[in-house]
Structure 1
Amino acid sequence: MKKTRHDKDPFDLVIFDCDGVLVDSEVISCRAHAETLTRHGYPITAEQVLERFLGVSDREARQTIESEIGRRLPGDFEAQVKAATLQSYAQELRAIPDVGDAIDAIGLPKCVASSGTPEKIRHGLSCAGLYERLAPHIFSAGQVKRGKPAPDLFLFAAEQMRTPPARCLVIEDSLPGIAGAVAAGMTVLGFHGGSHCRPGYGETLRAAGAVTTFDDMRQLPGLIGRIGA
């Protein structure tokens, strides 16, 4: 793909979510989370984890569950989920189709803002062959007080990249992510091409605040140009 950049572009930075946008990881992550929760006395399916916690940090998902069951999960619960997830990553994880070419074709600075832990983000991007394209501009929910749907992570990423929020374009696949980006005063595109996305999910993302949606990463560079125009 030829790089697209115009002098009158309204954006100075593209912020990518990671899971479900760069790497096709949501099904893997939800399965690992569900199996670990069920083992600790909170029966739940991967589909239910997807519906309830897509885009939410592990820390905040844990707080929600502990408030429901009235007790604390084991101190190493997140480590157990992470270990199960990373083991599956090595065997199953793939990049979202054509995302590498799309990244290369976008003639704007880029960064990642993800609800995952730094280790999970790095491992996932490395398994998918994308880490070197985006490092070192990779930010995680652990660096801010509140994860998505709060705007904190997106505002932190913009600050680190020295870009005003209004000049940032966010690529998201989750409702909490879109809510956080909108609250940060950023423009959001909704991606619904991951294996976890059901029919009609694009309409759901638009209703949440995405200015437009797409399901094929080959469309992304052109979309950015058209939104700019």
Structure 2
Amino acid sequence: MSIELVICDCDGVLVDSEIIACRVDAEELGQRGFPDYTLEIVLRRFAGMSQHDMIASIEKETGLTIGGDFARAVERRVQEAISTDLQALPGAAEVIGSLALRKCVASSSRPDKLDLALSVTGLRKYFDPYIFSSVLVDRGKPAPDLFFYAAAQMGVPPQRACVIEDSIAGVTAAIAAGMPVVGFVGGSHCSSQHADSLLALGAAAIVSHWSEIPDVIGRLN
């Protein structure tokens, strides 16, 4: 069955924001008495997950409460950084604009952060109004709920949707949804081992630049 829909993650796929968000998370965690959750750990374990799920995991592991104002503090700092520093990943606008397929965004980010990131980088016009946040489903990535939701909203069977993802949580969610997934490792947060991790989870291919994506999708058809 041919690919009809491309579902794009946002952070680390369309925009180079994952490193910004994870750095702020790690700094805030350190200031609140969680020094073991370094930037490296946050990137490896929690990139692609909703902040709600990250907080729940850390509090379960440590038996400690992070604080009710953590999310607001992080959101304020991340939005400031996005407003001034955020860039689209090279080639994203050109490739998205030229793809003769339906397109949408499915992201773990909250709607306000997602809207800001896509607006600041000029990418919103390529997807609007098909921009879906994990707040719309009961379970975020690595559960498949958000990808099922996006495909249903677009009227496309899951097996005809191709996901572009950079995170372990996102690739896991796409595989669980029965969707072919392309692992994107072009973000500044990706380590040299990241490609192997995504392949091991079941990514159909790995790309490091948006210019590679049309050929990869063509091979999946």
TM-score (norm 2): 0.96
Residues paired across the two proteins, number: 220
Q: Is the 8 A contact 2:16 2:88 kept in 1?
A: yes
Q: Deviations over 1:90-139 (max 9, x none)?
A: 22111000100010121011000001111111111112111121111011
Task: Name structure 2 gaps, 5 residues minimum.
Answer: none
CA distance in 2 between counterparts of 1:76 and 1:140 reads: 21
Residue 42 of structure 1 and its aligned partner are, at CA, apart by 1.3
Determine whether 1:17 maps to 2:16: no
CA distance in 2 between counterparts of 1:192 and 1:68 reads: 29
Indicate which of 148, 170, 173 corresponds to 1:177.
170
Task: List structure 1 segments (4+ residues) > 3 angstroms apart after TM superposition.
Answer: none
Tell me which residue corresponds to 2:155: 162
Indicate which of 33, 38, 61 corresponds to 2:30.
38
Taking only the aligned residue pairs, the percentage that are identical comes to 46
Matches within 5 A, 1:98-113: 98-113=91-106
Tell me which residue corresponds to 1:3: none
Q: Deviations over 1:31-74 (max 9, x none)?
A: 11111112222123222211121111101001011112323332
Indicate which of 124, 129, 149 corresponds to 2:122.
129
Secondary structure at the counterpart of residue 104 of structure 2: strand
Matches within 5 A, 1:22-171: 22-43=14-35, 44-171=37-164
Q: Deviations over 1:173-201 (max 9, x none)?
A: 11111110111111111111111111132
Secondary structure at the counterpart of residue 113 of structure 1: strand
In structure 1, what residue type is equivalent to 2:6?
Answer: V
TM-score (norm 1): 0.92
Task: Name structure 1 gaps, 5 residues minimum.
Answer: 1-8
Quote the RMSD (CA, aligned, Å). 1.2
Say which is worse superposed, 179-188 or 72-81, in terms of deviation.
Answer: 72-81
CA distance in 1 between counterparts of 2:20 and 2:157 reads: 34
